[in-house]
């Protein structure tokens, strides 16, 4: 029995569309449950954090990546491997600090907003995709990298691109292991 070559991509696309629609329904329900956008943003961040601390095991098992030696390598791994693996997009990376601990992931296309045209005027401070910030933060913490992750630009708010800022909070520590 043979399979048509496009079948796997079709299933993947249906799954992604279902995820995006389900995510939109989740955000809509949270907007009904909470009056303040800040509460919705915090809930999405907490939810993403919980996903991230669990997702890192799957990522490490499926990607078979080596240990990153710098913040730059870590950020490249997030952009080139993790985003591609889970969302099907590859954001560009830019370093925005002389110290080398602040980076931006720039998404030309954000798959989570495929079916969203714009945010309602009364929800102007809503960070619709804040789940992504929590996922990144949770995954990084599980590999002992404390980071602050925030949206810097958002197409849903009229910006040209979607930009996620990652600021690593500690200097890399050289740990010496006794044998």
pLDDT for the residue 175: 41
Cα–Cα dist 69/73, whole Å: 7
Residue 97, domain member (yes or no)? yes
pTM assigned to the model? 0.86
Cα–Cα dist 149/166, whole Å: 5
Residue 174, domain member (yes or no)? no
Q: How many domains does the chain have?
A: 1
Q: Looking at the DSSP assignment, which residues form a beta bridge with residue 150?
A: 165
Residue 116, domain member (yes or no)? yes
Is 121 exposed, middle or buried, given 0-12, 13-18 or 19+ CB atoms closer than 10 A? exposed
The answer to whether the CB of 156 falls within 8 A of the CB of 119 is: yes
Which strands form 147-153's sheet, in the order they lie side by side?
A: 92-95, 102-107, 162-168, 147-153
Name the stretches of the chain with pLDDT < 50. 1, 174-179
Residue 34, domain member (yes or no)? yes
pLDDT for the residue 36: 96
Range of the domain at 93: 16-168
Residue 3, domain member (yes or no)? no
Residue 85, domain member (yes or no)? yes
The answer to whether the CB of 48 falls within 8 A of the CB of 132 is: yes
pLDDT for the residue 164: 97
> What is residue 104's three-state secondary structure?
strand
Q: CATH number for the domain including 113?
A: 3.30.1380.20
Residue 6, domain member (yes or no)? no
Residue 10, domain member (yes or no)? no
């Amino acid at each position: 029995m043979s399979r048509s070559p496009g079948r796997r991509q079709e299933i993947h696309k249906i799954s992604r569309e279902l995820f995006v629609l389900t995510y939109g329904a989740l955000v809509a329900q949270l907007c009904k449950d909470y009056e303040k956008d800040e509460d919705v943003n915090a809930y999405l961040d907490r939810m993403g954090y919980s996903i991230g601390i669990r997702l890192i095991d799957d990522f490490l098992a499926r990607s078979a990546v080596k240990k990153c030696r710098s913040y730059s390598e870590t950020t490249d791994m997030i952009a080139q491997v993790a985003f591609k693996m889970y969302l099907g997009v590859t954001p560009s990376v830019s370093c925005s600090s002389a110290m080398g601990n602040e980076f931006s992931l720039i998404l030309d296309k954000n798959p989570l907003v495929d079916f969203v045209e714009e945010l309602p005027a009364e929800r102007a401070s809503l960070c619709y995709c804040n789940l992504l910030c929590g996922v990144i933060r949770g995954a990084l913490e599980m590999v002992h990298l404390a980071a602050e992750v925030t949206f810097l630009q958002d197409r849903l708010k009229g910006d040209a691109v979607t930009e996620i800022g990652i600021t690593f909070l500690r200097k890399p520590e050289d740990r010496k292991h006794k044998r």
